[in-house]
Structure 1
Amino acid sequence: MGPESKKTASRHTTETETGTHTFEVIGYTFKKGIGISNSIQSGTFTIGGSDWCIRIYPDGFANTREYVAIYLVHLSMNANVRASYRLSLVNQTTGLSDILCSETIATEFNSFNTLSLCALIERSKLESKSAGYIVNNGLIIECNVTVIKESQVLDITRGLDIEVPPSDLPEHFAKLLVEEESADVTFSVGREKIPAHKIVLATRSPVFKAELYGQTKERRPHDVTVDDMQPQVFKALLRFIYTDSLPDWDEPDVGEYCGITRHLLVAADRYAMDRLKFLCARLLVKYLDAETVATTLVLADQHNCDRLKEVCIEFMTYSGEMDAVVATQGYANLKRTSPSILVDVLEKISRHCKK
């Protein structure tokens, strides 16, 4: 198969907000004669984050004496907005709305900027009884406004993909280990019998592979005795083999936890499982202190953990806790079992002190 082609996509979206305001004028005839360019005004209404109102000029505006002028007014200060609109008169006889003027293409409004095309209706037509616009001396105007809000470009690549759940392979293998189904080898560790699956162990460890499959068919073991290892440690080893993770121990104290981890590092070295060795080494570094550093250094030297060994020597050199280290049993063991390493430590400390 060739390399996968990368697919990307984006989408430009423009949001709008639409609202309708109904302005009812009661006592319309009482407003006649207020004078040209004098108006009555609706309450303020908000659409799309902007404030608006409707103004009616019963005696006309400027040179529109023969007409009643109706304006939509943008009231928001220091704000530009684009909007489309529709102004209508309600026929109170039929209940229907008759459009006076409309603009479907968004028009830009500035602060206190009215529409360039207001609604004009002949006064005689508006006041005709047959028109049905004025009933009981009342007039109803409807204004519909659609405000164009901010546009944005969205990355919709995720929408073109299918989300895949995380791998549940470790869960299945953990279940295989716990339920012991089809187990074909049993390990005797201490006083416990621990079933397992040869093929899984051989896949993860060359030592297990040689031990379980390297002999003739007739002599391939079904029962294996493991000496010098605690059952708890062997179970942790199997847990890692099956799931690539360590068990969740019930919050042992630091000393107990470090002890288990040291034994597990030894097991990892015994079965040639380098990733587990590195994981154990990292855990031991996390709890490194004056009490544990010498013991951990001996362990690192005996099981070829070069980086762990370096970290222990650096701790002893730069921590300033050498007096406390010397007082530990681990340091006594270090002097007895690995004097050459101790020489390296002391020489490095000496060089550091001379700087």
Structure 2
Amino acid sequence: MATEMTTQSGSKKTASRCITEKAEGTHVFEIVGYSLKKGMGVGKAVRSGTFTVGGFDWGILFYPDGTSRTGHQCVAADLELRSKGKQARACCDLRLVNEDTRLAYSFESISPKAIPTSYNDCSHYSRENARVVEKSHFEEEGSGYIKDDSLTIECVLTVMKQSLVAKITGDSEMQVPPSNLSSHFGKLLLEENGADLTFSVGGESFAAHKIILAARWPVFEAELYGQMKEREDQCIIVEDMQPGVFKALLHFIYTDSLPCVDDLGDDDYSEMIRHLLVAADRYAMDRMKLMCQNILSENLALETVAATLALADQYNCERLKDVCIKFIASTDEMDTLMATQGYMDLKRTCPFVFVDVFEKSKRLRGA
């Protein structure tokens, strides 16, 4: 951003600002059967899956026997750009994760020029520039870095994007406020001005605007401007839904956000989100459904994870289902989990899900 100022002598003074945008991301690479990877040979690497940060595809290289420069007493790690025909500038922190303390120990760079650096098409740090950790640091019994013959590497990656230089004269610089469109629509819903439609839900009535619902609610568009177009009674009865859930659904339709529910406890909040997920699935509100899945995945607990897993399985929420299964498979408090009502309901209604839990448990424990 640049400004223009006039000094007392009448000459103009200008200033500019260079802004470099960046994208950040973290990838966790779990190496199951670490001892089996030893002996691959110096310079031989194990490759992670591909992950995306800053619009580029990346991967982690792990050398169990080190490289020609590091020696066999060390392991080495590296980062490679897997996007074909592209070039990126980035810096990263590669580190081992201590499974006991959850703290991380960074690989040491043996070249001060290793980061930041530019990555070319399918290239990576040369073996001479790979980051290293001495095996004695993490292979010692009780160190906490190797659990069930598994080693975890975490990569924190920052990708530098295009630098922008803006120039604006001083008098013409204006502060543009953020969009408040959602607040205006929220006020319209709250005050019911111009409402031409009513929903009856569980004995409560909710006023709304057909034109907004038609634009934001594809499921009702045909009904609002089809079968109901000539009806005098502009009222829709909604069955099998709690009034509070429908009110939250309307709030999302008008504002594209979920309502604030600070007055609810953790259990009631999770229960409300589960109901909203069901409503979102019922009315094909895909973005709202994804938001509910994300909230549930970030608030898993022993008391509710089984109920959430059953919900994810019933409504085809595969990502949420995977998170729940991993949570159950990794817990050391199975007795507490099995005593919950949600677990008993899950066992009765979705017994086949336990096959996924069992298989995930074996993978996590390196069996």
Preserved CA contact (<8 Å) 1:317 1:349: yes
| 2: CA distance, partners of 1:276 / 1:324 | 32
Which of 157, 175, 184 is equivalent to 1:163? 175
CA contact 1:202–1:209 (8 Å) conserved in 2? yes
Q: Distance in 1 between matches of 2:181 and 2:362?
A: 52
Say if 2:4 and 2:168, in contact at 8 Å, map to a contact too. Answer: no
Question: How far apart in 1 are the matches of 2:349 and 2:226?
Answer: 35
Cα distance in 2, alignment partners of residues 288 and 269 from structure 1: 20
Paired with 2:169 and 2:250, the residues of 1 have a C-alpha distance of 39
Task: Please list every run of 5 or more consecutive structure 1 residues that lacks an aligned counterpart in the other structure.
Answer: 1-7, 16-153
Q: Select which of 211, 222, 227 maps to 1:215.
A: 227
Contact (CA 8 Å) 2:228, 2:234: kept in 1 or not? no
The answer for the alignment partner of 1:282 in structure 2 is 294
CA contact (8 A) 2:196 2:234 kept: yes
Is 1:271 the counterpart of 2:283 in the alignment? yes
TM-score (norm 1): 0.54
The answer to whether the 8 A contact 1:212-1:220 is kept is no
Map Cα deviations across residues 87-120 of structure 1 (whole Å, 9 max, x no partner).
Answer: xxxxxxxxxxxxxxxxxxxxxxxxxxxxxxxxxx
Q: Which amino acid aligns with 1:224?
A: I
Q: Which residue of 2 aligns with 1:227?
A: 239
Distance 1:158 1:321 in 2: 64
Alignment of 1:294 onto 2:303: no
- C-alpha deviation, 1:281, in angstroms: 1.2
Question: What letter corresponds to residue 282 of structure 2 in structure 1?
Answer: R
In the alignment, what sits opposite 1:172? Answer: 184
* Matched position secondary structure for 2:237: strand
> Which digits, 9 at most, give the CA deviation of each residue in 1:258-288, with x for residues without a partner?
1111101111111111111111112112220
Counterpart residue number, 1:322: 334
**Structure 2 stretches of 5 or more lacking a match?**
9-164
Report sequence identity in percent: 57
Show the counterpart of 1:303.
315
Alignment-derived partner of residue 142 in structure 2: none
1:336 to 321, 335, 348: 348
Asked if structure 2 preserves the Cα contact closer than 8 Å seen for 1:10 and 1:155, the reply is no
Residues 53-101 of structure 1, C-alpha deviation per residue, up to 9 Å, x if partnerless? xxxxxxxxxxxxxxxxxxxxxxxxxxxxxxxxxxxxxxxxxxxxxxxxx
Deviation at 1:315, TM superposition (A): 0.8
CA contact (8 A) 1:186 1:223 kept: yes
Q: 1:13 to 1:195 in 2, by over 3 A?
A: closer
Q: 1:158 to 1:242 in 2, by over 3 A?
A: farther
Contact preservation (8 Å) 2:2, 2:167: yes
User: How does 1:188-267 map onto structure 2 within 5 Å?
Assistant: 188-215=200-227, 217-219=229-231, 222-267=234-279
Change (3 A) 1:260 1:280: same
* Distance in structure 2 (CA, Å) of the matches to 1:197 and 1:187: 11
Q: Distance in 2 between matches of 1:10 and 1:259?
A: 52
Contact 2:4 2:169 in 1 (8 A): no
Rounded Cα–Cα distance in structure 2 between residues aligned with 1:315 and 1:169:
39
Note the C-alpha offset of 1:216. Answer: 6.5
- Larger Rg: 1 or 2? 1
Counting only pairs closer than 5 Å after superposition, residues 71-90 of structure 1 correspond to structure 2 as none
- Show the counterpart of 1:349: 361
Q: Measure how far apart 1:316 and its partner are.
A: 1.0
- Report SS of the residue matched to 1:167: coil
Q: Distance in 2 between matches of 1:331 and 1:220?
A: 49
Q: Please tell me whether the aligned partners of residues 268 and 274 of structure 1 are also in contact (alpha carbons under 8 angstroms).
A: yes
Question: What's the TM-score, normalizing by structure 2?
Answer: 0.53
Q: CA 1:171–1:11 in structure 2 vs 1: closer, same or farther (change >3 Å)?
A: closer
